[in-house]
Amino acid sequence: MIGFNTDLFTGKTLLITGAGKGIGRACAKLAAQLGANVIAVARTTEDLESLQMTSPANIEIWVEDVASEAFIARLLQLNKLDGLINNVGINRVANLLEQLPEDLDVMIDINIKSLYRTSRAAVSVMQQSGGAIVNMSSQMGFVGSPRRTLYCMTKHAVEGLTKAMGVELAPSNIRVNSVAPTFVSTALTAPMLEDPDFKKFVLEMIPMNQLATPDDVANACIFLLSDLAAMITGTCIKVDGGWTAR
């Protein structure tokens, strides 16, 4: 009988994008603790080097831009890949009529196109022996919210992509799921939550009345990559404290 233990990912190779900070970093650390050979991808060398120091024997670092052809080429050269966490994403917060054309382009490029291209390359490596993919979604992939029209659009796309990939790749023994967090306490969200009115709004929307932590989200991601989730595909775990249940 399998369970969460230090041997859960022994012999398995997992690639995690956006691994330098926040949720991605928490995912990489937990995966390494559970025995995985982790390929941690980010653009900032210092972040990756400090991450690698937490588990030198288990974490390999790639300083790469996931939107680049070089990254895709490097991924395709892997001989083995058992799991992928697509964690890279951005947000451009503004009212609909204030969004710039370049905001639309960059949101689609990073939140949708890079995720699709990374997944496609990973599947090319995984198709020989199977694997699992986790796409980082958001509670905004299920609801709408003011000033987040572009973000909601891209995260709804992530949910659709996850379902379609889950169905198409199931015969190849490749599972695809998503994780949809609420607002997570990170350096990225800290400036937004310094606004007392906005923080009050957020906490009132979360029945559990608290923010998620990176570890909360990492736990769901690592579960979905593991054999504990062997019959789960094409769906989502919402780490949202009940926001979308209202």
| Torsion over CA: 138, 213, 187, 42 (sign) | negative
Please, are residues 234 and 176 in contact by the beta-carbon 8 Å criterion?
yes
∠ Cα 219 74 58 (to 5°): 40
Q: Is the pLDDT of residue 1 over 80?
A: no
Q: Domain boundaries in the chain?
A: 13-239
CATH of 13-239, one of 3.90.226.10, 3.30.70.1290, 3.40.50.720, 3.40.220.10: 3.40.50.720
Q: Taking the mean position of all CA atoms in its chain, how far away is CA 208?
A: 23
- pTM, to two decimals: 0.96
**d(Cα 182, Cα 46) in Å, to the nearest integer?**
28
Count the residues in the chain. Answer: 246
Q: Taking the mean position of all CA atoms in its chain, how far away is CA 18?
A: 8
pLDDT of residue 2: 60
Beta bridge partners of 85: 16, 134
| Torsion over CA: 5, 14, 45, 24 (sign) | negative
Of 90, 106, 88, the closest CA to residue 189 belongs to 90
Segment among 26-40, 51-65, 107-121, 190-204 with least mean pLDDT: 190-204
Provide the pairing of β-strand 59-63 with 83-86. unpaired
Confidence label for 212 from pLDDT (cuts 50, 70 and 90): very high
Q: In this predicted model, what pLDDT tens digit does every residue of 181-211 receive, in sequence order?
A: 999 988 888 888 899 999 999 999 999 999 9
Give the catalytic positions in this structure.
Answer: 151, 155
